[in-house]
């Protein structure tokens, strides 16, 4: 089990219908307004530690680790279908257990947007507010290309480096922030993915699941999600965006402005893709105000 003074939380586990155990954090008063935080790749619930500590005095903070990530089970390809639809199904099944009735507030980052918002637009009656952090929930426009770093990571040498040497999580601690991370923070972000290749299979499968054409499994899921994003216009939505993101850049932010034109944007010039690592001192107070 991972241990760090930066992550002083009690572990919780939920058994999915598949028999796999999903780890999650549950901090703050059970009766308080729930805030659900959905991480991406290659992070885990550790990424939300400062937001949890800032909100848990007055909110129920819930943060799951996707299967194969963080402290959740590590199945092989025969034991789990590493696709976006599986992630959305897992997320919904877990939420049906921990918060089956009340409206939730949602925080999404990276792949957490594709997962959390795919669930949200299919269950809008269960969503109160949404905080969007450097993420997406739509397919790559036809006139745009996948960033070179992700192309390299999907196949061949890049895939081998990720699976054998934890290259994706390791490089992210150097590339995904505008400022250098403290050593203990970097170690916390990559900690669950150290050791044997089985520990990081999910980090590779997430990259390979990025849909590039209609033939890819995640394409239809994201196409439906994108077509329904307008239902979030009736909700309170706040965007907090790191300007120095090497993947989710200003062109992606422009798509969000187009999809959700009434959502206010806090734009952090000095923050990268891991926007919470660079700008937690401003995002945590923002979240406190937004979630009330």
Residues 68, 74: Cα–Cα separation, whole Å: 4
Give the count of domains, the chain.
1
Q: Which domain holds residue 263?
A: 12-291
pLDDT over 70 at 166, yes or no: no
Packing angle of the helix pair 217-228, 84-98 (nearest 10 deg):
60
What pLDDT, in 10s, does the model give residues 206-250?
A: 999 999 889 999 999 999 999 999 999 999 999 999 999 988 999
In a domain? residue 4: no
In a domain? residue 127: yes
Long-range CB contacts (< 8 A, 24+ apart) of 209-214?
209/82, 209/83, 209/84, 210/140, 210/146, 210/150, 210/154, 211/139, 211/140, 212/140, 212/146
pTM of the shown model:
0.95
What pLDDT, in 10s, does the model give residues 98-145?
A: 999 999 999 999 999 999 999 999 999 999 999 999 999 999 877 666
pLDDT band (50, 70, 90) for residue 197: confident
What pLDDT, in 10s, does the model give residues 16-39?
A: 999 999 999 999 999 999 999 999
In a domain? residue 3: no
In a domain? residue 7: no
H-run or E-run covering 156: helix 156-165
Between strands 34-38 and 104-110, the pairing is parallel
Check residues 44 and 171 and name the one with the higher pLDDT: 44
Query: Hey, which bits of 52-147 come out as E strands?
Result: 60-64, 104-110, 127-135
Q: For residue 114, how far is the Cα from the chain centroid? A: 8
Across the chain, what does the average pLDDT equal? 92
Query: Hey, which bits of 81-201 come out as E strands?
Result: 104-110, 127-135
Q: Do 264 and 290 form a contact (C-beta atoms < 8 A)?
A: no
Cβ atoms within 10 Å of 173's Cβ, excluding its own: 20
pLDDT over 80 at 52, yes or no: yes
| Tokens of residue 29, six digits | 């008063």
In a domain? residue 138: yes
In a domain? residue 1: no
pLDDT band (50, 70, 90) for residue 3: confident
Average confidence (pLDDT) over 79-91: 98
Residue 167: CATH number of its domain: 3.40.50.1820
In a domain? residue 204: yes
């Amino acid at each position: 089990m991972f241990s760090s003074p930066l992550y002083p939380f009690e572990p919780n586990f939920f058994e999915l219908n598949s028999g796999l155990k999903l780890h999650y954090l549950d901090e703050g008063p059970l009766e308080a307004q729930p805030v659900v935080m959905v991480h991406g790749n290659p992070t885990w619930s550790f990424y939300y530690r400062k937001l949890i500590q800032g909100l848990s005095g007055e909110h129920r903070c819930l943060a799951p680790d996707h299967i194969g990530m963080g402290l959740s089970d590590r199945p092989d390809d025969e034991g789990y279908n590493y696709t976006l639809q599986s992630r959305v199904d897992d997320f919904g099944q877990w939420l049906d257990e921990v918060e089956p009735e009340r409206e939730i507030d949602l925080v999404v980052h990276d792949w957490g947007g594709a997962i959390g918002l795919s669930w949200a637009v299919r269950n809008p009656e269960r969503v109160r507010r949404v905080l969007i952090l450097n993420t997406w929930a739509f397919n790559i426009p036809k006139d745009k290309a996948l960033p070179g770093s992700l192309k390299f990571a999907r196949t061949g040498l890049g895939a081998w480096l990720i699976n054998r040497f934890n290259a994706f999580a390791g490089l992210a601690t150097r590339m995904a922030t505008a400022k250098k991370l403290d050593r203990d923070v970097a170690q916390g972000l990559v900690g669950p993915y150290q050791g044997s290749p089985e520990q990081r299979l999910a980090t590779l499968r997430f990259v390979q699941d990025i849909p590039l054409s209609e033939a890819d499994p995640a394409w239809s899921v994201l196409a439906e999600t994108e077509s329904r994003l307008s239902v979030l216009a009736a909700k309170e939505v706040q965007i907090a965006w790191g300007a120095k993101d090497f993947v989710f850049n200003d062109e992606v932010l422009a798509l969000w402005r187009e999809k959700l034109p009434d959502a206010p944007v806090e734009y952090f010039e000095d923050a990268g893709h891991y926007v919470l690592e660079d700008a937690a001192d401003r995002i945590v107070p923002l979240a406190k105000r937004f979630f009330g």
